[in-house]
């Protein structure tokens, strides 16, 4: 596909406005030129189509839990409107001239594409055609092995020692990397990599590491992290963490609960062994848990707090953005049966709030964020922040105003999280 098409903005650019206008135009065209009595049938068909769309939503969302959590009203209205339009198209095929049949077929395609674009714009997580199709435009790179950098004792913090060169790049860069599943055998998709401006100079400093995981379904796309961290870097002489946006899913349609299992392979081992080993051997990072952060959004947020609780010797910090309260919280009965063989004790043992009760975490920084209008995930963040506090973590709880469970929640959580992490990672003064 042409690179120009792949980079088209489909959230708030002229393309989506064009499809909105086309949909209105096609709807009017299908209804024009008919006598009033002939308008009754397509109008009825539109109502029937809307009813079919609503019924499908009730079955798929409410009964089958096909989407994990509840859909926003914007999404429901787009689905219902699309089916109403398809109903009008179907009615226009009956006893009509060839040109009207062709018009109806073209309109059906436009209505469907417009609905997809409308839903995507509501979530805002796929700003381009490439992102929507799961195509990363970042170049694939291979990095040579490096020696781990262990920080010297009693040295000044990085933000004091670092002097940005005159040729400091104005922004960071992104790439795709293949992380071999040496230990786990987990065949993940290529990970995203963000290198901040300070990592791109001739003699770069060793930098903190962040391993970030997106939601489910989702792509290991580093563009969201880049947007936020480029802004932070611009205010801190190019300093920012190096970020690996790792793929904990493999199949974006499947919730593997971030747990090793016979059903879904070993994503837990992949993140906490293979990704960690690769980062230590290929990135110019500070080899010290204090400077390592496990982070994620939604499904990835749950993975992050679970891993921080299980592997405190690896992760000194955790950022949980709108994360689930525990693995598979959206379909607990199904997961209890399929993943744990009906053993409630085994399931409870994997819940981070319970794991946190088993030890203390005196040197772990934790940030939990969720949106004020996202009640399920807001309650999860409150519960887990309380559990982390009781376990001895240094906890920040932040509510993102009206961010929903969409791009606003992600961007707001990243900004709030790095506000807390920058001094902890010695990227800024206290």
What pLDDT sits at residue 65? Answer: 54
What pLDDT sits at residue 34? Answer: 59
For the chain, which residues make up each domain, given as ranges?
A: 3-123, 138-424
CATH topology of domain 138-424: Rossmann fold (3.40.50)
What pLDDT sits at residue 149? Answer: 79
Q: Which pTM value belongs to this model?
A: 0.86
Contact between 298 and 320 under an 8 Å Cβ cutoff? The reply is no
**Phi-psi label, residue 209: left if phi above 0, alpha if psi -120 to 50, beta otherwise:** beta
- What's the angle, vertex CA 311, arms to CA 309 and CA 313, rounded to 5? 120
What pLDDT sits at residue 359? Answer: 95
* pLDDT values of the chain reduced to their tens digit, one per residue, 430 residues: 567 788 888 888 788 899 999 999 988 888 775 554 455 666 677 677 778 767 776 766 555 555 555 667 788 888 888 888 888 888 888 777 888 889 889 999 999 999 999 988 888 878 888 888 878 788 888 888 888 777 777 789 999 999 999 899 999 999 999 999 999 999 999 999 999 999 999 989 999 999 999 998 889 999 999 999 999 999 999 999 999 999 999 998 889 999 999 999 999 999 999 999 999 999 999 999 999 999 999 999 999 999 999 999 999 999 999 999 999 988 899 899 999 999 999 999 999 999 999 999 999 999 999 999 999 999 999 999 999 999 999 999 999 999 988 899 999 999 999 999 999 999 999 8
């Amino acid at each position: 596909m042409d690179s120009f098409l792949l980079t088209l903005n489909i959230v708030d650019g002229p393309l989506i406005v064009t499809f909105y206008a086309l949909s209105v135009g096609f709807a009017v065209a299908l209804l024009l030129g008919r006598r009033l009595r002939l308008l009754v049938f397509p109008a009825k068909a539109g109502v029937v189509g809307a009813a079919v769309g609503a019924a499908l939503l009730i079955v798929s969302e409410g009964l089958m839990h096909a989407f994990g959590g509840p859909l926003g009203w914007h999404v429901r209205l787009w689905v219902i409107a699309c089916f109403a339009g398809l109903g009008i198209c179907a009615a226009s095929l009956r006893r009509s001239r060839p040109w009207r049949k062709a018009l109806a077929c073209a309109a059906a395609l436009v209505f469907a594409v417009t609905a997809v674009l409308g839903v995507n714009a509501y979530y805002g997580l796929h700003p381009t055609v490439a992102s929507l199709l799961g195509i990363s435009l970042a170049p694939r790179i291979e990095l040579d092995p490096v020696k781990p950098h262990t920080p010297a004792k009693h040295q000044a913090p990085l933000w004091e020692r670092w002097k940005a060169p005159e040729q400091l790049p104005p922004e960071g860069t992104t790439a795709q990397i293949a992380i071999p599943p040496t230990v786990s055998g987990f065949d993940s998709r290529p990970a995203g990599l963000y290198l901040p401006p300070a990592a791109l100079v001739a003699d770069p400093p060793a930098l903190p590491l962040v391993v970030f995981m997106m939601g489910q379904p989702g792509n290991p796309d580093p563009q969201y992290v880049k947007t936020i961290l480029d802004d932070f870097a611009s205010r801190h002489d190019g300093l920012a963490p190096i970020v690996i946006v790792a793929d904990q899913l493999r199949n974006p349609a499947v919730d593997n609960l971030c747990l090793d299992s016979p059903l879904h392979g070993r994503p837990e081992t992949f993140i906490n062994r293979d990704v960690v080993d690769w980062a230590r051997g290929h990135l110019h990072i500070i080899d010290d848990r204090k400077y390592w952060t496990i982070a994620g959004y939604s499904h990835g947020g749950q993975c992050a707090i679970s891993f921080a609780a299980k592997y405190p010797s690896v992760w000194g910090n955790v950022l949980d953005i709108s994360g689930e309260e525990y693995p598979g919280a959206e379909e607990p009965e199904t997961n209890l049966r399929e993943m744990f063989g009906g053993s409630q004790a085994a399931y409870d043992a994997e819940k981070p709030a319970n794991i946190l009760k088993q030890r203390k975490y005196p040197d772990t920084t934790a940030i939990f964020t969720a949106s004020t209008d996202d009640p399920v995930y807001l309650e999860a963040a409150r519960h887990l922040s309380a559990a982390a506090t009781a376990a001895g973590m240094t906890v920040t709880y932040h509510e993102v105003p009206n961010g929903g469970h969409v791009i606003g929640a992600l961007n707001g959580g990243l900004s709030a999280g790095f506000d807390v992490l920058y001094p902890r990672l010695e990227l800024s003064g206290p």
